[in-house]
Structure 1
Amino acid sequence: MTVRRKFPCMIAALGLAAATAASPASTASPQHAAPGGDERDRSSGEVAEVLFVGNNWDGTADVLTPDGELEPLARVDIVPDLDKRLREVYTDPERLGYYLGIRALVGEGNDQYVDDMYTTEDGRTLVVSRPSLADVVGIDLAGGELVWRFEVDGHRSDHMAVSPDGEHVAVSASTGNVVHVLDIETGEEVGQFPSGDSPHENVYSADGEKIFHASIGHVYTPLDRPALDSTKGERHFQIVDADSYEVLERIDMGAELDEAGYPDYSSAVRPMTFSPDERYVYFQVSFFHGFIEYDLAENRVVSVVNLPQSEEAANTEREQYLLDSAHHGIAMNPQGTDLCVAGTMSDYATIVSRDRLRHGELVEGGEKPYWATSSSDGEHCFVSWSGSDRVSALSYDTGEEVASTRVGDHPQRMRLGHVRTDWLAEQDPPRS
């Protein structure tokens, strides 16, 4: 795999960190690009479950069957307004600085146009966070135009989560150090809560009463040694009331690991997944080739699970890690029996039994796996290979790869969603 060094970007990284701390947050407000969007036909119709794959550098999302076939069904343009947005960026020196900084530091030399995405329950609107454009948009799938647009605080949007009732979407504002909660139909902000530096992952509890959130700090700096850990900024795992947006609990997972006898682990919680009863959270942390099992009821580290490293990864200096991500992608099947893990720096994915915490076959389906998502029936885990522009389906039963499909440039986040069957029937499968 090819790993980009962070040393050439050191000055730009420190400048971006300083600007983040010093610059005021932008005014966040929805912009309704399609007047009358709320009056669109909302009559009932048949919907189908699909798998959306966000092609971050492409500015597109592929639509696949959410099964062991991964049949390509459609491709959606996520940046239909790109010309207008770029005119705004290039006429604002501050925005341009961040835009180019994101390209150089987080985008590995590329613009980031698709991070996360969810659909409305009626399957008509795709809601997408667009990092380089610092916004969240609602896209009318039928017409391809924006229904609404929300500008996040700061200059970059990131991971999202949708509430179980499908009414709200929470989005991390990376340089604004807040999480916005929006009405998914209108883009209006209904609340927000504070985060640490570089807000990242969000997960709603099954009952919709809490939001689990984590911040990851300044992953774009080259100051990666444990002795310099404090330079990475504030990093917290948070439990937030989903009604009042009050932060109920804030945990420093690095300190928890240190207390459990695991010193020098990062506090930056990356992707996370939960047991069906939500007592246990399984999460990845920066620089660690494996994952942590944590008991939320007793507030203690239960297990630290080491997974294999490739020879190349073992010989890679921390400063050359991809945005500090040794592993980035973890999911649990709905039955709660197995986990699916993306070994990002070692170019593999694997199924891990939850009871024994032992891994199975290492599936080497491409380069730089960067996300894992379970199928709704729990039969498959979908893994995005961002360096190879492919998505794989792994069998939770056998651990083997059962399908692989080519998608757009740099697939990252994958989410299950719904689309109208009449829209789907009109689409031509993409030619990748």
Structure 2
Amino acid sequence: MFTGNAKDGTVSLSDAETFEPIKSIDTYPDQNKEDKLEDSLDHSTPKLLNTFLRENYLEHANVSPDGRTLYASRGHVGDILAIDIETGEKLWETDPVTLRTDHQVISDNGDYLYTSDLTSNQIIKIDADTGTIVGKVSIRNFPHGNHLHQIPSLGNEKMLINGSLGNMVYPDSNWDPLPHQLSFVDPESMQTVRTVDFENGVRPFAITEDGQKIYVQISYFHGFHEYDTKKDRITRTRYLPKTNHVPERERDFPVQSAHHGIGLSGDGKYIYVAGTTSWYAAIIRRADFELVETIPVGKYPYWVQTTPDGDHAFVPVRGENEISVINYANAEEVARIPASGGPHVIESETVPEEVL
């Protein structure tokens, strides 16, 4: 399990079975090794943006299918790096013209990365071997999370699915003129084939294995929607309880998120939600949408990633600098793993032992 740490730009590796920490990878291996102007930009740009926004030296980290290369979207630096996991050395760097690179996803064969270029309103397609940008698609507005998944109603090939944030400038949800939607994109041609509008910014979303349902979190909303990809409409909505940790004003929500993190158990029976402002993890039975349990985990749980065996959820708890490990079937926390500053997005991959 690879946990990206937004505040210090590192990635914490943990064993997905024993929950033991393994090592840390620095996604700034080029620090003080490039020319002075490049070094200055890499350090001054995030520091300037961090003054007004949350600290973000690392937005997302993905791993190649052979477990040897880490791809880092470095948030407020606005670039993407490839790093050799064994040596920690930089393999390539790509600098799109943007103030913020966001979430990304890697193709199953490891040939391409698809990275949200937030402030340019596009997703860029990157050759994973060379870092060359080979395609782009416009997304409205402020592209955020990305998934690759087959959607039967849209054909036999996998779709690139993106959720857009809409307004990220105004402090609350009272007025938001910008589009916020799911976009379904052909990852080969980089052409959009379907968009679905939502009432506010699209946050994390989880897709069933058969591609029939998508569970979508929305800015400021304490709960989530079920979107049916065949019927092309929202079929169910689950509201979740608030606790006394929730700020009175929406403008005090961390990055406009009431909840930020959603996943499915390996057998598809349970939905797991990171109740960010309520400081809990919630488990919902998918069949009847009943709330099974809320588990207190500490300040600002922020993501959900199911372990490869499908039995546990890894949840970074940003305010505690820890990862909570929850067992789906028993609805209980079974482990705590120390992380670095601001644990954020988690991905999983098999890594050869010699690389570690």
Displacement of 1:371 after TM fit? 0.3
Residue equivalent to 1:244: 189
Q: Larger % of helix: which? A: 1
The Cα of 1:96 is off from its aligned counterpart by 8.4
Q: How far apart are 1:102 and its partner, in Å?
A: 2.4
- Cα separation, 2, equivalents of 1:86 and 1:106: 27
Cα pair distance change 1:220/1:391, threshold 3 Å: farther
Aligned to 1:377: 309
CA displacement 1:394-426 (0-9 Å, x = unmatched): 1110110011111101000000023221122xx
1:309 is aligned to 2:242:
yes
Distance 1:324 1:86, change over 3 A: farther
CA contact (8 A) 1:161 1:204 kept: yes
Of 11, 33, 54 in structure 2, the residue corresponding to residue 61 of structure 1 is: 11
Q: What letter corresponds to residue 209 of structure 1 in structure 2? A: K
Q: CA deviation at 1:142?
A: 2.0
Structure 1 residue 84 displacement after superposition: 5.3
- 1:57 maps to a residue whose letter is K
Bigger relative CO (Cα 8 Å, ≥ 6 apart): 1
* TM score, norm. by length of structure 1: 0.77
Using the alignment, how far apart are the partners of 2:19 and 2:43 within structure 1?
38
* Code of the aligned partner of 2:23: A
User: How many Å separate the matches in 2 of 1:136 and 1:334?
Assistant: 30
Structure 1 residue 238: deviation in Å? Answer: 0.4
Cα distance in 2, alignment partners of residues 295 and 242 from structure 1: 21
Q: Aligned in 2, Cα 1:100/1:234: closer, same or farther, shift over 3 Å?
A: farther
Tell me if the contact between 1:85 and 1:133 (Cα under 8 Å) persists in the aligned partners.
no
SS in 2 for 1:212: strand
Structure having the higher strand fraction is 2
Give the distance between the partners of 2:100 and 2:35, measured in 1 at CA. 14
Pairwise mapping of residues 94-113 of structure 1 onto structure 2 (< 5 A)? 99-107=46-54, 110=55, 112-113=56-57
| 1:373 aligned partner, one-letter code | Q
Measure the CA separation in 2 of the matches of 1:325 and 1:86: 38
Partner residue in 2 for 1:398: 330
- Give 1:220 shift: 4.6
Question: What percent of counterpart residues are identical?
Answer: 30
Once the two structures are superposed, residues 282-318 of structure 1 have per-residue CA deviations (whole angstroms, 9 ceiling, x without a partner) of: 01000000110011111111111001111231x5211
Among 327, 330, 345, the alignment partner of 1:413 is 345
Partner of 1:115: 59
Corresponding residue for 1:210? 159
Equivalent position amino acid for 2:197 in 1: D
Is the 1:282–1:294 contact (alpha carbons within 8 Å) kept by the matching residues of 2? yes
Q: Mapping of 1:36-55 within 5 angstroms?
A: 51-55=1-5
Alignment of 1:253 with 2:198, yes or no, is yes
Check conservation: 2:31, 2:39, Cα contact below 8 A: no
- The count of aligned residue pairs is 351
Tell me if structure 1 keeps the 8 A contact 2:166–2:176.
no
- Tell me: CA distance 1:86–1:350, structure 2 relative to 1, closer, same or farther (3 Å): farther
> Quick one: which amino acid aligns to residue 116 of structure 1?
H
User: 2:257 is matched with which residue?
Assistant: 325
Q: Counterparts of 2:40 and 2:262 in 1: how far apart (Å)?
A: 40
Q: Deviations over 1:32-85 (max 9, x none)?
A: xxxxxxxxxxxxxxxxxxx00111111111110113x31001111111113357
- Counterparts of 1:289 and 1:373, CA distance in 2: 19
8 Å Cα contact 1:177-1:195 kept in structure 2? yes
Give the residue type in structure 1 aligned to 2:89.
E
Deviation at 1:251, TM superposition (A): 1.7
Q: Distance in 2 between matches of 1:278 and 1:178?
A: 24
Mapping of 1:131-170 within 5 angstroms? Answer: 131-170=75-114
Kept in 2: contact 1:153–1:178 (CA 8 A): no
Distance in 2 of aligned mates of 1:100 and 1:217: 24
Moved more, 381-390 or 357-366: 357-366
**More moved, 283-292 vs 137-146:** 137-146
Q: Deviations over 1:219-254 (max 9, x none)?
A: 3532x142x222xx3322100011111011122122
CA contact (8 A) 1:209 1:243 kept: no
SS of structure 2 residue aligned to 1:387: helix
Root mean square deviation of aligned Cα: 2.0
Aligned to 1:335: 267
Q: Distance in 1 between matches of 2:350 and 2:157?
A: 20
Q: Provide the secondary structure at the position in 2 that maps to 1:175.
A: helix
Check 1:85–1:98 CA distance in 2 against 1; reply closer, same or farther (3 A cut): same
The answer as to whether partners of 1:57 and 1:409 remain within 8 angstroms in 2 is yes
